[in-house]
Each structure stands twice: as C-alpha cells, then as structure tokens.
Amino acid sequence: MGCAEAVRRAVERLHPEGRLDIAGSRSATVALERQDLDELLGNLIENAAKYGGGSVFVTIDPDEDEAPRDPKQCLIWVEDDGPGIPEAERIRIFDRGVRLDTDKPGTGLGLAIVRDVAEIYGGSVRLGTSEDLGGLLVELRLPRAD
C-alpha cells in the first residue's frame, strides 16, 4: 500500500494544517491498476481532509478485533473528524454531481467515481460514522491480489 503514502504526501501539500495517519497492514495488496487505486484513495483522503475538521485516519486491513478479515477482500477505512454525512443522504451522495457542502470547491463527482471504480473491480464502498473521530467513515472493500 505504498500508494497510500504517495497520496498522503500529496494531501499534506494541499492541507498542511491537517493531520493524516495511516495504520494497519503495510503488506496488503489489491488487484487494481495502480492509477485506479491512486484515484480511489486520492478522492477519499482529499474529501476527508477537505470536509473534515483536520484529522484523517486511514486504516488498511484493521485488526481482527475491529473487523473480521476477509481472505478475498482488503478492507480500507478512511475516517475524519468532520460533520459526517446524514444517514438519509448516504445513498444519494454517490450520484454524479450531488454535493452537500457547496461552500467548498468541487464537482460532486469524487464519490461517484470511487463507487464506479470499486464496483468495476468487484469491490464496494459504504458510508458510516467514525467511532474514533465522530465524522464520516468510508469503508472501501477491494479484491486482494493473488
């Protein structure tokens, strides 16, 4: 997951005031083209940095006590300390062009792209609430590389 580190460096240049921590498995590999994985992680981490309150946690393959490990799919959590997304909006926010916060720049395409690319590879994306930070939790599941 060296690409998570590359995305970290890019996001830290754009949002130097924020804090981005990456934890979990450093040896996890997924069956995606590198540029597609960069696109997924870049969109999710950039959104967390932009809409969160300053803290972003990325966890790759959380410990077994946090989430059961799937031998076929890698689990990636991207969490922030922002206001989150109301449960009633969590399906609609994946539609192209939908934006809940129009005060910040954006096109409303990021989450739609994340969903579409993940599904092309047989993965999925789901939104929830971060237990640790209180903001949004994005749960990305991607097929493991053999």
pLDDT in tens, 9-55: 766 776 777 788 888 887 888 999 989 998 899 899 888 988 888 89
Distance, in Å, from the CA atom of 83 to the CA atom of 129, rounded to the nearest integer, reads 10
CB 47 within 8 A of CB 16: no
For 86-117, write each residue's pLDDT tens digit. Answer: 999 888 888 776 665 656 656 567 899 999 99
Q: Average of pLDDT values for 72-80?
A: 95
CATH of the domain at 97: 3.30.565.10
Looking at residue 28, the DSSP 8-state letter turns out to be -
Domain that holds residue 75: 2-143
For residue 110, what pLDDT is reported? 81
Provide the number of structural domains found in the chain: 1
> Would the pTM count as exceeding 0.75?
yes
Report the distance separating Cα 33 and Cα 25, nearest Å: 19
Residue 18: the pLDDT is 79
